[in-house]
Structures are given as structure tokens and as C-alpha cells.
Amino acid sequence: SGGLVAAVLVAALVAGGVGGGIGYWAAERNDGGTGSTTVSAAAPQDLKREPGTVAAVAGKALPGVVTIEAKSGAGGIGGTGGEGGEGGTGTGFVYDREGHILTNNHVVESAAEGGTLSATFSDGKTYDAEVVGRAQGYDVAVLKLKDAPGGLAPLPLGNSDKVAVGDSTIAIGAPFGLSNTVTTGIISAKNRPVASGDGSSGKNSYMSALQTDASINPGNSGGPLLDSGGAVIGINSAIQSAGSGMGQSQAGSIGLGFAIPINQAKTVAEQLIKTGTPVYPVIGATVDMSGQSGGAKIASEGAGGSEAVPPDSPAGRAGLKSGDVITGFDGKEIDSGPTLISEIWTHEPGDKVKLTYERDGKERTAEVTLGERKGDS
């Protein structure tokens, strides 16, 4: 299925200040010094919006969305270059009444080691925040407000497994630093394998994403993707852009945005809140991550000459060997190493999953009980 995006995508990197890019124009009327002209205002209108409208959903959700400012330990706001897209402005949303904020790891990682973080609500109030836990691979992070106010309004969480292509979506965030921006669209695709990063290093993030055409830009990262009822179905995390390169450090939306499904993000968030450390399901085999089509090939040997499939690993116990090409996982077609990881990480350690693979031109199947890895390696 050549339509799947399994190659590298540009992460929806956090954006710095807006600078002079957007201005506000105001004019005064001066009737040649002869006096001013008074225009009577119309009678006040009832601006109440019916439940279920975009305006009503946005109005209810905005108090639970924050703009996150990350400052690195060096004392300045990080730029948009560097591994993972450091620094600047991103988005998050209230996860619970205790003051936990859910966002992307790449929004906060520049400030995670000795830096500072702040969260600004739609009413303009700003609070200092600290990192509770980060998951590089999932690109999920949990913050906590240091002096959380009372009356926090956590956003309700939906069920991303029940989302259908064509469903309406609403995204809230701070594109290019413009806080409290609301955009709309639909679910364009589900289970879209996405690797945000360079596709080969150990610092990539992988997701089996919800794709949306709601306008998502740098600075939207970490913000909520809502359904038509106002429930969070995903965390806006990455964009495909046609504008990167040619000396441009920032690129904008072309209607291809990707969100981490909230069912996965919730599992990760709960783990981070409990222990501060992410847990990843694994098959325990070294897989070729070059992105070649046709499946996920198990390497001939692991790093440093180690076995690609240790006998006591989940893959080893299931009978897999070096050179096998994995083509199916839990009923999903696998066309590359990144796609395989994206699908594995939608599960939990201990899950039993049917795996399809090719060896010597013949298709075989195996049942794998997923193992676990704690922390980002």
C-alpha cells in the first residue's frame, strides 16, 4: 500500500515569537479637523451558540488549553533547528484537576534539563510548570503546574479507536505563537504510520497516527484534536509540509496533519504520572529501519555484532530468525521497519499478537507475546 506515509515527516516543531510577520492596522478618522463623527452602536446581540457547533465546542475547550513556553537551561529560548526541533512555543491541555498537562515531548525537551517551562491559559494567566515524565519514542510528555489553581477544567477524553474517516475535527493551539487558535477539518485517514525525526537515529518518534486536514502548524504541537462533541481524540504532533528546504526553517500547513491517538497517549500519560518512566512493548528483534518497501526485515546482526534475534526474546521464542521479513502485525500490513514499530507501540507489554512473515519466499505466521523495555534508550 504505497499510500502509507512510513517515511520521515517533518515534526510540527515548536515556533518562536511571531516577530513582525503579523501586524494590526487601525485608522482614525479625521474630518479635516472639523470634528468627530459618532456612529451609534447596534443593540447588543445574544451571542450564545447552540451546543455542538464549532463555536460552542471551542468556547468550552479553550479554558482547558494552554500555550507552553519552553526556555532552555542556557537561558534563552531554543530555536527551531537541532535534533527534534527544540525550544519556543507549543501547546498542551489540562489532563486532570491536579494540574497535570499533556503535551508533546518535542515541545518541552529543550527545557527538560535545567530549563524553565510556563503554561498560559486562555484568560492570560501564566503558571510555572515542571516535567513529570517524558517519552521520546511516543513523543508524549506530562507536565504539572507548580501552583495549580482551583477549578481546572480537564478536557474530556474520547475513544480514538472509534473514530471514522470523515468525522469532523477541531484543533486548538498556538501556530507560530498565535495562542488560542481554532481550526477545523475532518479525519482524513487512520492508522497512518508516521516517523517524526530523521527516520534512522535513536531519537525518532513513531505513531500510528490520525491524519487530519485541520490546519496544523509549528506551535500546534501538543495541542488537542477534538471530535465534534469536544472530546480529545488525539494530540497534534506532526505535519507533512511541501515548504521545507530552500532555506526555510519553518513550513506551514498543506492539510496533512498527524495526531497521536488519545487512547495510546492516555496509556503513556498514566505510566508517566505513576513512575515518570515510559514503558515500550517490544518484540526483541533488530529490524532494518531504512524504510524500504515490502516489509520489515530482521537484520543479519544487531548493534556491535550482537544477535538480531536473541533466543530468549519474544521474537526468538516465536521462531523468528535473521533475514525474515515481517509483512503483517495484528492484521495490519507492514511495509517497513518504522511502520512495524508504529504498530507495536499501539499495544502493551504482554499482549499476544499474530505476526505474518516471509522466509525463503514462503509466508509463515507466528504468535508473539510482546515484551517490554523501560525508558528511552
Amino acid 249: pLDDT: 54
Contact 336, 297 (CB under 8 A): no
Write the pLDDT tens digit of every residue in 220-267: 999 999 999 999 999 999 998 775 444 445 678 888 999 999 999 999
Confidence of residue 300 (pLDDT cuts 50, 70, 90): confident
> Residue 139 catalytic?
yes
Of the two residues 6 and 226, the one the predictor is more confident about is: 226
- C-alpha 36/C-alpha 33 separation (Å) is 8
Write the pLDDT tens digit of every residue in 344-368: 999 999 999 999 999 999 999 999 9
Q: What domains can you pick out in the chain, each with its CATH number?
A: 64-145 (2.40.10.10), 155-275 (2.40.10.10), 279-374 (2.30.42.10)
Backbone angles phi, psi at 258, to 5 degrees: -135, 135
Angle at 92 between CA 86 and CA 94, to 5 degrees: 150
pLDDT greater than 70 at residue 279 = yes
> Residue 221 catalytic?
yes
pLDDT greater than 50 at residue 199 = no
**Which cell numbers hold the place of 178?**
498565535
pLDDT greater than 60 at residue 305 = no
Cα distances (angstroms) measured from residue 268 to each of 16, 92, 374: 27, 15, 12
pLDDT greater than 70 at residue 83 = no
Backbone angles phi, psi at 316, to 5 degrees: -65, -45
pLDDT greater than 80 at residue 30 = no
Task: Find cell 530468549 and name the residue.
Answer: 312
Which range, 14-18, 109-113, 117-121, has the best average confidence (pLDDT)? 117-121
pLDDT greater than 70 at residue 23 = no
Q: Which residue is catalytic, options 196, 221, 253, 342?
A: 221
Q: Which residue is catalytic, options 72, 100, 106, 237?
A: 106
Angle at 94 between CA 92 and CA 59, to 5 degrees: 90
Contact 5, 193 (CB under 8 A): yes
Confidence of residue 203 (pLDDT cuts 50, 70, 90): confident
Write the pLDDT tens digit of every residue in 151-193: 999 999 999 999 999 999 999 999 999 999 999 999 999 999 9
Contact 246, 39 (CB under 8 A): no
> Residue 106 catalytic?
yes
Q: Is 362 exposed, middle or buried (0-12, 13-18, 19+ CB in 10 A)?
A: exposed
Confidence of residue 86 (pLDDT cuts 50, 70, 90): very low
- C-alpha 243/C-alpha 357 separation (Å) is 38
